[in-house]
Amino acid sequence: MPVHSYAEEFRSPGSGADAGIGVLLSHGFTGSPASMRPFAEHLAAEGFGVALPRLPGHGTSWQEMNSTRWEDWFAVLENEFERLRKEHDHVFMAGLSMGGCLTLRLAEQHGADLRGLVLVNPSVMTDDKRLVALPVLKRFVPSLPGISNDIKKPGVNEYAYDRMPLKALFSLSQLWRLTRDDLAKVTQPVMLFRSTVDHVVEPSSGLKILSSISSRDVTETLLEDSYHVATLDNDAPRIFADSVGFIRRVAADA
């Protein structure tokens, strides 16, 4: 199926003093690389090696996404991670929403080979009790109205699906559970950005992460002027600048 132009992947080899650092970025559920593209371009401009892949089923149609599972999304990121490891001395990862969950899962699986994590409104659970019916509902209902463009800044589009594919959502719920169960395995430095007003991911996700990981180097930053897709919102410049500082500091310490 054709990939929409806004969903194009982005890669940069790195240059200058920071060429030894690689950063892998992941977009969120039903979204596309568009939501992380400015972040990726900023990191590339700073000299880091960058990889922003498109997760399977994203950037095409929600119907196609319903034929993919979390293992498919994770496999793409894991392959990019292994490539970055061969090309750079230090590899970091940054994820938005579900991308944050996938980032945590990669950290759980690869330990110190992943040097540090940047999480932007990461999701590892939901307080929505309706999801209890997902195992049955997904057999009869292919999708529900989606939640997209939760952005405070006017005139910005994240280009996410307007429908929520339920088979894919059920798979995401399985990823959430697996990731939550292994959060204690996360020992890497973590920088977590959390919007104080988020209409997609509840505060419980961030609180669960911070209370369960074993990392000693943890920074939480509250974003007062952005909604869920903070990488495209008013606080984006702060996210980008703080992430660069975090990555350079952790790489230097290593």
Q: What angle do CA 55, 26, 11 make, to 5 degrees?
A: 85
pLDDT (tens place) for every residue of the chain, 254 residues total: 789 999 999 999 999 999 999 999 999 999 999 999 999 999 999 999 999 999 999 999 999 999 999 999 999 999 999 999 999 999 999 999 999 999 999 999 999 999 999 999 999 999 887 777 677 777 888 888 888 899 999 999 999 999 999 999 999 999 999 999 999 999 999 999 999 999 999 999 999 999 999 999 999 999 999 999 999 999 999 999 999 999 999 999 98
Q: CB of 91 within 8 A of CB of 81?
A: yes
| Terminal-to-terminal C-alpha distance of the chain | 43
CA dihedral of residues 251, 124, 216, 87 (deg, nearest 10): -20
Measured in residues, the chain has a length of 254
Query: What pLDDT does residue 224 have?
Result: 98
User: Residue 58: its pLDDT value, please?
Assistant: 97
| pLDDT in the model for residue 132 | 74
Token code pair at residue 75: 């496999």
- Estimate to the nearest angstrom the gap between the alpha carbon of 221 and the chain centroid: 16
**β-pair type (116-120, 190-195):** parallel
Angle between helices 70-87 and 98-110 (to 10 degrees): 60
This model's pTM is above 0.85:
yes
Here the contacts of 129-135 (C-beta below 8 Å, separation 24 or greater) are: 131/169, 131/173, 134/166, 134/169, 134/170, 134/173, 135/170
Catalytic residue among 12, 32, 35, 97: 97
97 in catalytic set: yes
Gap between the Cα atoms of 20 and 239, Å rounded = 22
Q: Give CA–CA dist 44/50, Å, rounded.
A: 6
Q: 199 an active-site residue?
A: no
Active-site hit among 228, 233, 235, 243: 228
The verdict on whether 198 is a catalytic residue reads yes
Secondary structure (DSSP) of 14-42:
--GGGTTEEEEEE--TT--GGGTHHHHHH
Q: Is 81 helix (H, G, I), strand (E, B) or coil?
A: helix
Contact 25, 100 (CB under 8 A): no
Q: Please report the pLDDT score of residue 131 as a whole number.
A: 73
Cα separation, 55 vs 52, in Å, equals 9
Residue of 32, 35, 90, 198 marked catalytic: 198
| Burial call 38-52: b when 16+ CB within 10 Å, e when fewer | ebbebbbebbbbbbb
Give residue 189's pLDDT: 98
How far, in Å, are 17, 86, 87, 90, 228 from residue 193 at the CA level? Answer: 27, 29, 28, 22, 10
Instruction: State which H helix or E strand residue 118 sits in.
Output: strand 116-120
